[in-house]
Structure formats: structure tokens, C-alpha cells
Amino acid sequence: MAQPTLLLGQTLAFARDPFRGDPAEAAQHERRGAVLIEDGRIAAVGPADRLRTAHPQAGVVDHGDGLILPGFVDAHAHYPQTAIIASWGKRLIDWLNSYTFPEETRFSDPAYARTIAARYFDLTLAHGTTTVASYCTSHPESVEAYFAEADARGLRALGGKTCMDRNAPAGLTDTPRRAYDESKAALARWHGRGRLSYVITPRFSPTSTPAQLEALGALWAEHPDCLMQTHLSEQTDECLWVAELFPEASDYLDTYERFGLLGPNGLYGHAIHLTPREIDRLAEVGAALVHCPTSNTFIGSGLFDMEGLKGRGIRVGLATDTGGGSSFSMLRTMAAAYEVAQLRHRALHPAELLWLATAGSAAALGLGDRIGTLRPGIEADLVVLDLGSTPAIAQRAERAEDIWEAVFPTIMMGDDRAVVATYVAGRMVEARTDRP
């Protein structure tokens, strides 16, 4: 058994969802706090003096005024789009045809897939993200590269083969049979191995025939413990396209439901242009939605209704959606979520933003009992933030009267420079020696 480790710094531990009740009272802040790590898990959280006295044998890492949080959880990403992030000037369908599909075609090459997978995890860890749910490409090689890289780093990661059998280049399309067989083989190889989870992944209805959606619905019925991820109602022209392709469906969500692809383990990305019936069904079945604010603004999709959807009791996660999203940073993603909500006349509290990027996303992924919070028994995936990482942020934080005023400038203006350290299962994997 490894020696216990005591991390010292400020701590912020959520006791409940801040969207329910006063958000400022949803978390316990310790100005001089500590997190005890034993065997890759959090063993205790509390005041530093008390934990140091109780655990004199523990090794100590003192992060000074650094804020210790759960590692960020990115609930929807496309690791194969790493190299094309921040490509100019397209909406969704043109983005796919101009940038995404040509790049994803390259992932039939195992060496290229491994290179991008390694680069992707380097970038996410540098930004304090410790768990990702990613779409791979239609190539089994891309799935292998993603999971092998995550497994080698000891990460909790989720992903799956992106299935498409129409409206995509020949180098990316499969068939209903191949989608089922290759997904099932990858699921058998990776699901539950280490800290990995396989996710059944139809890209979205326009790129799957009814036969393929039916095959993937059958696979999900065979493995209901798995998540299923896809896209839903991202742009208005996409919704019109879906209506043309599925004239028999009552709405976009129905193109999934009629093939067995709606359920409590379903993850539906974007979900901006929902009908009242779709909202009712999502709430009824307990499905989760994923808000992708930098993507939604970057490619002009629209404004996610956080207030209305959370008010219906629907689980909501937060995500970068790289590379349609324009940043690998969950801090930047929180800032964009704040800006989108402001345009809907709702100022999200800093507690709500931090919760979305940690416990909220973990709950959306069905992992709230394993990651996303600071409490005993939870896996010790952590990020430590410097709340004065740049002169502009520092001078604003100095005027703060509470922890929320202190952390908000970092949410709005912070980037990877704010990340002091990133821990994966209790191991420091990223560190900035010039930070506290």
C-alpha cells in the first residue's frame, strides 16, 4: 500500500446541486483545507490542521492558496478533430463536409490515430480535464488508439466508434452489420477495462439509415449498462434535414426513440431546438443532455436553455465539443456557458458553472458515485487552480469578498496557465513549477 498523500490548499466541496436552492450555499469552502489521498481515492476532506494531526504519516504537498477541485469532466468531445480545432467560417453541415470528414478519414492509419490520441490527452490534462467522453471515428483503429492511450495513462475515459452508413464519404461509412459487429467487438475489448467505458455511438440521424439505427438500438438493448451518445437538434437546418430524411417521425428525438435509442443512459449533445414533446420525453425517461457552449456560438447553432431544462429536472453536463468547440479548456467552456445564459437573461452563479464542469457532467455520464466531487471514496482525479494566474485575473481576485468572487475571474478569463497541477487517481500528471 502506497503512503497516503495530503494535498493542502483551498478546497471547495459540493454537498448538492447548486441549481436547487441558494447556489452560494451548495458547497463547503475551506480557506486552508486538505484532501487526503489513499490508494488513488479520496480518503478525507476537511481543514488542513485537523487532517495533518489525524494523519501524521501522510506525505504532504502544499499548494498554498491554490484551489483544489475535482478534475474537470468533459461530457462530449471529438478527439479526432483535435488538429482542425478553430477552423474558420462554417455551419454544421458545411463544417462536417469541409473539415471533419476529410480529417476523420485519416484515422484508418493506426499511427496517425495514436499520434492524435496522445496529443489530445496531453492537451486535456494540461487544462485540468481528467475525464472525457469522446466520439472516435468509424475506424476501429481510432477506437483502439483512444482507449489504449487513456488506459496507459490510467484515465477514466469513455468513447466509441462513430457509426455512419450514409451522407458521408466512402472512407468513413460502414454498414448496419459492420456498425453492430465492430461496436460490439470494441465494447467487448474495452468496456470495464481499467477505468474505461464503451459508449455506443451513432453520429446522428442524418448519417445513419433506419437499418443502422435499429442495429445500434439492438446492441444497446443487449448492453443496457453502456451509455449511448449522439447529437440532437443542434441547428435549425439540421432539424429540417432530419424531417426530410425521416418523414414518418414526429420529431428529431423520435428518430432515435423508434429504434430503441432513447433511455436513461442516453447522452444527447447540444439539444438546442427542442420541441415541447421532446422535452417531455427526455424528462420522462431520465436521459441526459450535454451543453456545448463554445461550439454552439462558434458555428452559430443557438442558445441552450439551461434554466428551462434544469427546471424540468433533466440532467445536464458541460462539454467542449472539440473541435467544433473552439477550446480544450473547461474554464473557457464555463465562461461561454455563462455568456450563453446571459443572452437568455439568466446569470449563472460561479457555483453552478463549477458544478456543471465537475459533478454535473459526472452525473450526466452516470459516474457521480465515482468522480466529480470531493468526498471520501471518490476517485482522486483533481485539478488545482491558481486564482491569480495572470495580472488581470489577480488584480480582480484581490478585491473578492468571498470564494465565489475570487474564482469567477478565473472562470471568465482563465486558461491552462491557471492549472497548477492535475492529478489522475492520486498521481500528479501535470504540474506548473512557477505556480503555488
Q: What is the pLDDT of residues 189-215, one digit of tens each?
A: 999 999 999 999 999 999 999 999 999
Cβ pair 332, 294 in contact under 8 A: yes
Q: What is the DSSP track for 310-344?
A: HHTT-EEEE---TTTSS-S-HHHHHHHHHHHHHHT
Cβ pair 36, 17 in contact under 8 A: no
Q: Output the pLDDT for position 88.
A: 86
Q: Output the pLDDT for position 1.
A: 64
Q: What is the DSSP track for 137-168?
A: -SSHHHHHHHHHHHHHTT-EEEEEPEE--SSS
Q: Output the pLDDT for position 433.
A: 64
Query: Binning pLDDT at 50, 70 and 90, where does residue 260 land?
Result: very high
Q: Output the pLDDT for position 92.
A: 78
Average pLDDT over residues 110-136: 98
Whole-angstrom distance, CA of residue 58 vs CA of residue 42: 13
Mean pLDDT value across the chain: 96
Please calculate the CA angle 127-131-132 and round it to the nearest 5 degrees.
Answer: 90
Whole-angstrom distance, CA of residue 368 vs CA of residue 358: 9
Q: Output the pLDDT for position 96.
A: 86
Burial of 202 per CB tally in 10 Å (0-12, 13-18, 19+)? buried
225 has a pLDDT exceeding 80: yes
Query: How many C-beta neighbours within 10 Å does residue 62 have?
Result: 12
Nearest-10 Cα torsion for 241, 206, 226, 367: -50
Q: Which of 275, 324, 316 is nearest to 298 (CA)?
A: 324
Q: What is the DSSP track for 166-235?
A: SSS-TTT---HHHHHHHHHHHHHHHTTSTTEEEEEEE--GGGS-HHHHHHHHHHHHH-TTSEEEEEES-S
The SS3 call for residue 414 is coil
Query: Binning pLDDT at 50, 70 and 90, where does residue 97 land?
Result: confident
Q: Output the pLDDT for position 436.
A: 47
Q: Which three cell numbers stand for residue 217?
A: 438500438
435 has a pLDDT exceeding 60: no
Q: Identify the H or E element spanning 35.
A: strand 27-38
29 Cβ neighbours under 8 A, 6+ residues apart: 10, 11, 12, 402, 403
Domain regions of the chain by residue span = 5-70+373-431, 72-364
Q: What percent helix, strand, coil does the chain show, rounded to 5?
A: 40, 25, 35
159 has a pLDDT exceeding 80: yes
95 has a pLDDT exceeding 90: no
Q: Output the pLDDT for position 431.
A: 79
The b/e string for 248-259 (b: 16+ C-beta within 10 A; e otherwise) is ebebbbbbbbbb
Average pLDDT over residues 99-113: 96
Query: Binning pLDDT at 50, 70 and 90, where does residue 219 land?
Result: very high
Q: Output the pLDDT for position 395.
A: 97
Type of residue found at 223: H
Q: What is the second-level CATH architecture of the domain 72-364?
A: Alpha-Beta Barrel (3.20)
Q: Output the pLDDT for position 434.
A: 62
Does domain 5-70+373-431 fall into CATH 2.40.30.10? no
Q: What is the pLDDT of residues 35-84, one digit of tens each?
A: 999 999 999 999 999 999 999 999 999 999 999 999 999 999 999 999 99
For the ranges 63-72, 346-355, 408-417, 427-436, the lowest mean pLDDT is seen at 427-436
Q: What is the pLDDT of residues 323-340, one digit of tens each?
A: 999 999 999 999 999 999
The SS3 call for residue 236 is helix
Whole-angstrom distance, CA of residue 127 vs CA of residue 429: 12
